Structure 1
């Protein structure tokens, strides 16, 4: 905190001299303003979904996750469709990434995989948002599933957003807007396990509080 004087008047000081003056000057030279906090430019969410008995013919379950740099969907946000694709038409299986500005679809990417089919399997993945000041990128990485195997390489889309940082991101918003849209009886649990925040110099903070969707 920068020191200030009360009353708005400047106070006159005698010029320091000898050893006492050196001590005052040295102390002043060591004082510095506190460093600005490192802005958040990347957020990673670790997710886990546990199936009980998926139904291949009914393409069940189908679930959705959402990430936004804001605690709302009034501006930019990403939507990820799991075990189905909706654009340009409904297709069973796989994953589809969407980036939106309000209700306008900006970018899309589809991954064509077979429909989830393994009883009692656990699907784990990390999804992230990152800004470089110009583009906002949503990615999926470090995915593991019995049906799909390892996944997440080159699974990302970028849109122009001109966001300086992700300081308004809220994990509770991600958890509140994730859902099993079809076949919830075939899902044991869907949980946001942890969240990591990164700045330009690396990891800033980690939130290990699990947020259970179902």
Structure 2
């Protein structure tokens, strides 16, 4: 099942406790500059105390911009956000995972050129961590994939990606981390996009999985 939404769309979701979601939680998904046949879907699951929230957004537009933000987390909560955007068969994949009190996570993607890709993976668990990766002059058959993992009280992790175009810049920043931490950053290019779609008949929503394999 695919849900079609207007080009300029925003939603505020406050699930209640009877479904296992925490109070004061706010989640939004916004799309701008849409073209025809755009579809955006949002799915959330979670429960308090060892809560897990999964949100998925899909947008297929030129020069797209969308964000997903979650606030008011409980201890040991895990948030997983994934966004996919396609302009001329190009895909952006953004994923963030955090385990923090009052954590805020935001992901933003803007436009891409044909078949471009960069895969970035960052793991950071350090005090006042700040790191960034910048790429210039993308080549064909590329895509953007950003992943960040962090866990610390009062920690905030933000991941931002801007296009897959010449002079592109991508940064990942985390603050307020605890000791005994490490950073690992991996950049992979020359990947080709592979995607599949599954329809969940019981819950009535579509799941798109975008992966990458080595381009030969």
Fold agreement, TM-score > 0.5: no
Structure of larger gyration radius: 1
TM-score scaled by length of structure 2: 0.29
